[in-house]
Structure 1
Amino acid sequence: MAASGPNGGPAPPSSSSFFRTMVSTFRTIKYEHLVAGVSGGVVSTLILHPLDLLKIRFAVDDGKSIEKHRPQYSSLRHAFRSIFQQEGVRGLYKGVTPNVAGAGTAWGFYFLFYNSIKTELQEGNSKTQLSPGLHMMAAAQAGALTLAMTNPIWVVKTRLCLQYGGDELAQAKDPSKTYKGMVDALYKIGKYEGIRGLYKGFVPGLWGVSHGAIQFMAYEEMKSSYNIFNQHPIDHKLGTLEYLFFAALSKLFAAVTTYPYQVVRARLQDQHSEYKGAVDCVQKILRIEGGWGLYKGLRPNLLRVVPATAITFTVYEKTSQYMLG
């Protein structure tokens, strides 16, 4: 009989058994989770990409915009109007290709790895209740694996979102940082900056693994508690509105508690800024902009990620439910 954890579930695997757990995890993979996750990520990203672009532009604003030929925005409405007037509708969708590719890939692999690890921890019994700590551990492992595979795509998305309309002449002075699209950006970053360039922001991205871990833990706990309250099995399928509500609430909680890492990651990936690393970036933000500097772009981020996650999780749950029967 398997050992029990503090909340009656399986005990967390020791570090010596981690490799065996990961190997056996891939034996339980169901690719329906990959397809369902990709579907959710693509749909939500296509709908809400303009808000992601605004979040990135606010996040990298360090108060030195004039020196860097970077436009300044006083509010979300002003930013939206300025981009639309200067760059048109296409300006609001700069970086959408790598964003769709990144979101689809990231959500697909995240759900794939998470469900595989979760199934392994449950020893194949979907009715086994896992502790919050095990949910967080499964999500953290899935997040680290996903980030290692998708970080170059996020670097490209950030770079493309930070190409400003009317700034072509300034950018032409350094053609290595002017990109025609996703493939061109991948090629130039790899050629001129190497692997280090493609993995800029990876360290704060690892901090962000805690974001996904907190989000999935909250989501799973709310679903389980709701089913227990209604005297249903913990793997009972919920309605669309219930999935929307629990996904949105879990994302709001995770976003507010872990947002600063996104500011740091965006600034490290910004082709217009130079930092020695994540620690240097945090120190400069705190010294020049104060604590609120770590929360720049939070408003457009919440306006985007809460409905985006609600859409993603609902599409995922319904698609996987259909495919898995």
Structure 2
Amino acid sequence: MLQAPGQDATRERASKVPPGWLHFAAGGVGGMCGAVITSPFDVVKTRLQSDMYKTAHKKPNRPAVLGMIESGARHFVETCRMLAEISAREGTSALFKGLGPTLVGVIPARAINFATYGTCKRFYSETFDHSAGSPLVHLAAAATAGITTATATNPIWVVKTRLQLESQRLEADARSARVNAVGQKNVRGLHTSARVLANMQFVRAAAPPHPATSAFRMAATIVRTEGVAGLYKGLTASYLGVSESTIQWVLYERLKRLNEKQESTQVPAVVRTIGAAGCAKMVATLVTYPHEVLRTRMRQQPVGQPKYTGLVQTFRLVLREEGPAAFYGGFTAHLMRVIPNAIVTFSIFEFVLALGSHL
């Protein structure tokens, strides 16, 4: 039976798709390199998203529009200032706080995502008789890969978020302890400055501000105090965030195909990959960033009664207490991290794929 030329072309393209294990390896290597290079911006982004930072740097109430303009104007300054502040107060190593669980999460997350995407792209194109370059195939494959990755790696991201916010939580606890101790002394009639100073020094010594907590100890603490369900906090927001990776993959594939049609311009392949990866990530981030803030709030370590209990409840509470601008807290630090991260990840991914295809 005669076959249409289009079907032959589809089968030929499918036969050229690299195997799943190569996608797995390439995604893991690319994710690891990107995470290490951009780790300091990840720490700053997480703190700017948290309400711990918002409480410590609370501003007077302003109209929503003015608040958003002011927030956008100071994001870059805040990012640079916090990088210097964290390095000075907590040491350079604090800029890589949570890098251990990040690597433990990023390497399998990128590997799973890229491998699932490549496998599903081939499966959907063959099952539904679509071209491997069809936007519908890219959309379905990216959504499947995003959901799979979010479910498998959510506990790692909860531990990482807690580690990055730990120092701020301990500082808040220490301040509260000092205030309470001084208040108790005053109630008992001990008003002398020497006694108050001695009490403050005692509390400060009893509550070291930056103890080293390992990822395993943090995970054990979460399970002990909040149950296994504590490791899956923010999962609904992560599912919402699948839209970001879906948009990114669809745009990346589209831009890559457009660039491939312009090979006559003599633009190096690596430059085309950098442009496609950077543009795709920027657009996807602009559209979906608020879910990042919601997810961070839901993953915070609760102090007493949990403040953020669900996706809708968190959205309404942040909107009511802090205004729309809060949903883009840490946005500049996030862009400074994710765009270079995407460029490094996809460039190495494409390089490893090309290298593996010639072996």
Structure 1 residues 157, 118: closer, same or farther in 2, change over 3 A?
same
Structure 1 residues 114, 93: closer, same or farther in 2, change over 3 A?
same
Q: Which residue does 2:165 correspond to in 1?
A: 162
Mapping 1:52-131, distance limit 5 Å: 52-61=42-51, 63-65=54-56, 75-123=78-126, 128-131=131-134
Shift of 1:229: 4.5
Supply the distance in 2 between the matched residues of 1:259 and 1:169 (Cα, whole angstroms): 27
Shift of 1:123: 2.3
Which one-letter code corresponds to 1:78 in the other structure?
A: R
Structure 1 residues 306, 180: closer, same or farther in 2, change over 3 A?
same
1:180 counterpart SS class:
coil
Shift of 1:42: 0.6
1:75 counterpart SS class:
helix
Does the Cα contact within 8 Å between 2:150 and 2:239 map onto a contact in 1? yes
Which one-letter code corresponds to 1:255 in the other structure?
A: T
Supply the distance in 1 between the matched residues of 2:350 and 2:220 (Cα, whole angstroms): 36
Q: Which residue does 1:250 correspond to in 2?
A: 280
Structure 1 residues 286, 92: closer, same or farther in 2, change over 3 A?
same
Shift of 1:179: 7.0
2:166 counterpart SS class:
coil
Name the Cα RMSD after superposition. Answer: 3.0
Q: Is 1:271–2:301 an aligned residue pair?
A: yes
Supply the distance in 2 between the matched residues of 1:66 and 1:219 (Cα, whole angstroms): 38
Supply the distance in 2 between the matched residues of 1:190 and 1:34 (Cα, whole angstroms): 30
Structure 1 residues 118, 259: closer, same or farther in 2, change over 3 A?
same
Per-residue CA deviation, residues 52-95 of structure 1 (Å, 9 max, x unaligned), is 0000000113632379xxxxx97122211211111001111110
Per-residue CA deviation, residues 215-259 of structure 1 (Å, 9 max, x unaligned), is 00000011112223548xxxxxx7111111110110001011000
Per-residue CA deviation, residues 20-56 of structure 1 (Å, 9 max, x unaligned), is xxxxxxxx96211111111001101111100000000
Supply the distance in 2 between the matched residues of 1:191 and 1:320 (Cα, whole angstroms): 43
Which of 14, 20, 32 matches 2:22?
A: 32
Does the Cα contact within 8 Å between 1:179 and 1:185 map onto a contact in 2? no
Structure 1 residues 240, 144: closer, same or farther in 2, change over 3 A?
same
Supply the distance in 1 between the matched residues of 2:47 and 2:263 (Cα, whole angstroms): 44
> More helix by proportion, 1 or 2?
2
Which of 246, 249, 252 matches 1:213?
A: 246
Aligned pairs, how many? 287
TM-score, length basis structure 1: 0.81
Question: Where in structure 1 do 4 or more consecutive aligned residues deviate above 4 Å?
Answer: none
Does the Cα contact within 8 Å between 1:144 and 1:209 map onto a contact in 2? yes
Supply the distance in 2 between the matched residues of 1:83 and 1:269 (Cα, whole angstroms): 21
Which of 327, 335, 342 matches 1:309?
A: 342
Q: Is 1:143–2:146 an aligned residue pair?
A: yes
Which of 23, 37, 43 matches 1:47?
A: 37
Does the Cα contact within 8 Å between 2:121 and 2:132 map onto a contact in 1? no
Long gaps (5+) in structure 1: 2-8, 11-27, 68-72, 232-237
Q: Which residue does 1:188 correspond to in 2?
A: 221
Long gaps (5+) in structure 2: 2-8, 11-17, 59-74, 178-206
Which one-letter code corresponds to 2:238 in the other structure?
A: G
